[in-house]
């Protein structure tokens, strides 16, 4: 198995699906073999492609609030790994951003996960991460979030933290009322215990 350092270096140099990426390759990931929590999202948006910093936006603020952690904790790679299903911005279509490039997870994901031996919690955001990390689950993302306790405490399917998702949160108040307090408690425990 490659060292984690070599693997990250190979990913930074990756041009595998260059021809399909409107802004070219720019993998945006946060990774250390020491990480305890994995955020498995979809793919960087245009803004993240420009800054190179994952969740440095309103969605990130919401996500950090959901987890009960500050930016310093969130951007500490030895605590939190951020690995979207596609590492580069895939472009956008009529219905928003395009899906993550499938080659990305096929090529890199298993190798990266093999280095994450200290993981206690995987947070799933979106249908592509759901399909990968809970392949036995055949329902919708909303139903997966509703059935959160079936994969808890190892894996938690979540709604997208985007402010555009406010309507979903209003329609499903149990997420903030029941799931978030349990999630915050678990995240705090994980980050304060070796
Ligand atoms: S999306 Fe993934 S596979 Fe495609 S160029 Fe970026 S890092 Fe490589």
CB-neighbour burial class of residue 79 (10 A; exposed 0-12, middle 13-18, buried 19+) = buried
Closest-CA residue, ligand 1 atom 4, reads 17
- Residue 190: CB atoms within 10 Å: 18
Which atom in ligand 1 lies closest to the alpha carbon of residue 26? 6
Output the domain CATH number for residue 173.
3.40.470.10
**DSSP secondary structure letter of residue 171:** H
Q: How many domains does the chain have?
A: 1
Of 153, 162, 112, 161, the residue nearest 132 (C-alpha): 112
Q: 66 is in which domain, residue-wise?
A: 4-192
Whole-prediction pTM: 0.96
The pLDDT value given to residue 1:
86
Q: Mind listing the pLDDT tens digit of every residue in the chain (194 residues)?
A: 899 999 999 999 999 999 999 999 999 999 999 999 999 999 999 999 999 999 999 999 999 999 999 999 999 999 999 999 999 999 999 888 999 999 999 999 999 999 999 999 999 999 999 999 999 999 999 999 999 999 999 999 999 999 889 999 999 999 999 999 999 999 999 999 88
**61-70: long-range contacts (C-beta < 8 A, 24 or more apart)?**
62/161, 62/162, 62/163, 63/39, 63/161, 66/158, 66/161, 66/180, 66/183, 66/184, 67/37, 67/183, 67/184, 67/187, 68/183, 68/184, 68/187, 68/188, 69/187, 69/191
Which atom in ligand 1 lies closest to the alpha carbon of residue 103? 3
Q: Helix crossing, 180-192 with 58-67: angle to 10°?
A: 80
Closest-CA residue, ligand 1 atom 6, reads 88
Å from CA of 59 to ligand 1 middle: 23
Beta carbon of 83 within 6 Å of any ligand 1 atom: no
Beta carbon of 188 within 6 Å of any ligand 1 atom: no
The pLDDT value given to residue 96:
86
């Amino acid at each position: 198995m490659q060292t984690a350092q070599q693997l990250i270096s190979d990913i930074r140099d990756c041009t595998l699906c260059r021809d399909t990426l409107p802004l070219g390759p720019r993998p945006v990931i946060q990774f250390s073999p020491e990480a305890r929590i994995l955020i498995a999202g979809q793919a960087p948006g245009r803004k993240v492609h420009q800054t190179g910093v994952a969740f440095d936006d309103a969605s990130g603020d919401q996500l950090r609030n959901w987890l009960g952690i500050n930016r310093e904790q969130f951007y500490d790679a030895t605590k939190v790994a951020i690995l979207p299903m596609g590492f580069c911005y895939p472009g956008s279509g009529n219905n928003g951003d395009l899906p993550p490039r499938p080659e990305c997870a096929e090529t890199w994901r298993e190798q990266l996960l093999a280095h994450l031996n200290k993981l206690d919690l995987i947070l799933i955001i979106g249908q592509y991460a759901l399909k990968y990390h809970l392949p036995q689950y055949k329902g919708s993302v909303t139903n997966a979030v509703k059935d959160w306790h079936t994969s808890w405490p190892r894996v938690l399917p979540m709604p997208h933290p985007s402010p555009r998702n406010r309507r979903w949160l209003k329609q499903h108040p149990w997420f903030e009322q029941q799931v978030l307090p349990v999630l915050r408690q678990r995240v705090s425990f994980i980050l304060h215990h070796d």
